[in-house]
Structure 1
Amino acid sequence: MIDECLVVEFVVTGDDCPLAEASKTIGVRIDCQPPQHRDDGYALLRFSTPKGSNGLTDFLDADDRIRYLHVSTTDGRQNFRCLSKHPCVVHELTNVGFMAESLRYRDGSATFTGAVVGHDVLQGVLEAAGETVGMQLQRIHQLGSEDENVVAQQWDVTPAQERALRTASEMGYFGVPRKTTASEVAEKLGISKSAFLERIHRAERSLFSQMFA
């Protein structure tokens, strides 16, 4: 058994996927969850950008590789869902052992964060990437207990909702009895009490719908 798990971060260049091209053309940072590949050859993409990222929707709508684009706005961010028929580099890396956590696109480049089990698997991931795109290893460290949930679980919540959940949990908001109030957590986050409660409720609804679907 191999018990060494490594958290790694790569910077990828040369990827011609729709999100990489959009980030360069529109000049916006795109935060993406790992794509879900379907049997019909399409990949389900879920990603978000700051609210007011003008031009991204039109750019993707005009890309004939994108299908069924849906856009919504929550907590000051635009959330996108679509199907892409463009083969994703992450899929190739997953085939050789890369467990993707998050993808971030900016100025045509991408940062992939995830985990690999052992240095041999890491070497295989680097070799696979070298055959398709340019990849530079940015950071690497051993997986600790504080990282396990981040890498192992992919919940459909926004970054703002995740911060609210994490801060509330760390402050004991979900404890029995509670160790803090909604107002105190909201102050820590720098938002209003109503905004904090809305984020928590939206996150809970998303989590529960996935858990009990």
Structure 2
Amino acid sequence: MNKFKGILFDFDGVIGRTMEDNYTAWKNVLSQFGIELTKDEYFLLEGVNTIELAKLLLSKNGKDTNRAAEIVKAKEEYYLKNNNFSLYEGVEETIHTLKGNGYLLAIVSAANFSRLSNTLYPALLKEFNTVITGDKIDRGKPFPDPYLTAAKELGIEPSECLVVENAPIGIEAAKNAGMYCIAITSTLDKKYLSKADKIIGNFSMLLDEIEPQ
């Protein structure tokens, strides 16, 4: 796999162990609007831009979609006050190794940059050559735009990118961008990740799949 020059990572559920806290934040805020959100429903929707996710859930429940921004603001505030952020095992070591091996690195996430930058450790954030977040682009996952934007900022072709994802919508975005995708079963069973080119069990297994430059 040494044809790759860049490794592009989703954030929630791949780098950060954030899915449970994000779900709790969404569930808490949505309940105030009379909307029930199950964990299975949320985990399968992971990767959708936060505003689009709020609009989707409002519309599905017959609510006014104009309140999407209000919901997202409340959700992000709840998350920042109540999260217990941690990295998945092996993340720091793997990122440092890939960087040392000459790979260009990017985070490509539906999260807002403010939340991501306020939770990810600054020293680790600096390891990434670019960070593409949901508030920086017009069309989020499953459209290819986030990953294509990252490739452009890294100065490489989509075919030179390897994507690491954990959810169907993110995998679809990577494949729509013409990129190779490895999925990690960190939050969902492998049956939901079948469109990925490769499925692995945890972040630490990445180095077995990616050759040094």
Q: TM-score, normalised by structure 2?
A: 0.26
Q: Which structure exhibits the higher relative contact order, with contacts defined as CA atoms closer than 8 Å and separated by 6 or more residues?
A: 2
Task: Work out which of the two has the higher radius of gyration on C-alpha atoms and give 1 or 2.
Answer: 1
